[in-house]
């Protein structure tokens, strides 16, 4: 397996302002936004799959992917004759999530236009987002699983994660945990390594299932019971 490394459009002596404008320009096309949103589920997609979700021709998709790759927004993994695309990092996912929040706030109508199933539960790259995730985060703060600013697990929080079976990475280069602004709920859900560990646990236990090709996740009946028990919730 080989990664295709991005070759940035900007030259080393370019100003920060120009570099920022190039990234913003790469995101500005609706088709490229559709591609990036699809990749927000944290999985790798083929160009054919991305062309279908964006509703554009394969040849057009190739051009869009080249633009995203050159600006460091996606990476490409080659495996044999196949190429798979994914977001370049969780930082890019955070950028997109924040941009979604800004876009939602730009609307004059206060009524949320996000589909109900996505507002309820979805993936945000490698962690859980939506109403369920926001309620879990609120519970963790109230029960002091998290430090007051949400940037670290408390000793009690680490113990609860261990008891649940959520495996934390002690050598992770990313933050152990962090508050991630949920663009549909306008409140925080759990990000960082702890958020990733929680999503992995929920999937492994079969408490949530993914909808193929979408960010939506479904809470199973056993998951509803387990989440209600673990986080003192009342999912119906």
For range 26-51, the mean pLDDT: 89
- Counting residues of the chain whose pLDDT is more than 70, the rounded percentage is 88
pLDDT at residue 233 in the model? 92
114 and 226, same domain (yes or no): yes
153 and 214, same domain (yes or no): yes
Pick the more confident residue, 112 or 78: 78
Last-in-domain residue among 58, 88, 118: 88
pTM here is 0.67
- Please give the Cα distance from 17 to 26 (Å, whole number): 14
Domain containing residue 58? 2-88
Say whether pLDDT at 209 is over 90.
yes
70 and 159, same domain (yes or no): no
118 and 204, same domain (yes or no): yes
Is residue 236 one of the residues assigned to a domain?
Answer: no
CA torsion sign, 179 to 171 to 125 to 6? positive
192 and 164, same domain (yes or no): yes
Last-in-domain residue among 54, 88, 122: 88
pLDDT at residue 109 in the model? 47
Is residue 102 one of the residues assigned to a domain?
Answer: no
Is residue 100 one of the residues assigned to a domain?
Answer: no
Say whether pLDDT at 11 is over 60.
no
- CATH no. for residue 30? 1.10.10.10
189 and 114, same domain (yes or no): yes
114 and 196, same domain (yes or no): yes
For range 9-19, the mean pLDDT: 67
- Please give the Cα distance from 211 to 198 (Å, whole number): 18
Say whether pLDDT at 102 is over 80.
no
pLDDT at residue 105 in the model? 64
- Please give the Cα distance from 70 to 76 (Å, whole number): 11
Last-in-domain residue among 88, 119, 153: 88
pLDDT at residue 10 in the model? 46
pLDDT at residue 111 in the model? 47
Residue 184 is given by DSSP the state T
Say whether pLDDT at 108 is over 60.
no
Q: Give pLDDT tens digits for 144-195.
A: 999 999 999 999 999 999 999 999 998 888 888 999 888 788 789 999 999 9
214 and 156, same domain (yes or no): yes
For range 202-212, the mean pLDDT: 91
135 and 180, same domain (yes or no): yes
pLDDT at residue 231 in the model? 96
For range 204-229, the mean pLDDT: 90
Read off the tokens for 192: 């960082």
pLDDT at residue 13 in the model? 53
Is residue 15 one of the residues assigned to a domain?
Answer: yes
Is residue 99 one of the residues assigned to a domain?
Answer: no
**3-class SS of residue 182:** strand
pLDDT at residue 43 in the model? 81
Is residue 101 one of the residues assigned to a domain?
Answer: no
199 and 169, same domain (yes or no): yes
212 and 113, same domain (yes or no): yes
Is residue 97 one of the residues assigned to a domain?
Answer: no
Say whether pLDDT at 224 is over 70.
yes
60 and 10, same domain (yes or no): yes
**3-class SS of residue 209:** strand
Query: How many domains, in total, are found in the chain?
Result: 2
CA 139 to each of CA 136, 198, 212: distance values in angstroms, whole numbers, following the listed order: 5, 14, 29
């Amino acid at each position: 397996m080989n990664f295709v490394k991005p070759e940035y459009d900007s030259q080393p002596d370019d100003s920060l302002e120009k570099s920022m404008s190039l990234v913003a320009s790469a995101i500005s096309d609706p088709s490229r936004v559709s591609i990036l949103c699809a990749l927000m589920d944290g999985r790798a997609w083929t160009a054919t799959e991305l062309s279908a979700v964006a509703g554009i021709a394969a040849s057009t998709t190739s051009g869009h992917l080249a633009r995203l790759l050159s600006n460091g927004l996606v990476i490409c993994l080659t495996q044999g004759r196949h190429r798979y695309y994914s977001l370049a990092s969780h930082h890019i996912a955070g950028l997109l999530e924040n941009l979604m929040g800004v876009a939602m706030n730009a609307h004059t109508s206060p009524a949320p236009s996000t589909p109900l199933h996505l507002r309820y539960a979805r993936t945000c790259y490698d962690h859980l987002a939506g109403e369920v995730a926001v309620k879990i985060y609120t519970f963790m703060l109230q029960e002091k699983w998290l430090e007051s600013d949400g940037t670290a697990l408390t000793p009690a929080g680490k113990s609860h994660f261990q008891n649940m079976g959520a495996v934390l990475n002690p050598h992770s280069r990313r933050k152990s945990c962090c508050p991630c602004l949920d663009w549909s709920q306008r409140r925080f859900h759990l990000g960082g390594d702890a958020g990733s560990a929680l999503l992995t646990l929920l999937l492994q236990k079969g408490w949530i299932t993914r909808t193929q090709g979408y960010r939506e996740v479904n809470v199973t009946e056993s998951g509803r019971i387990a989440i209600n028990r673990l986080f003192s919730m009342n999912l119906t």
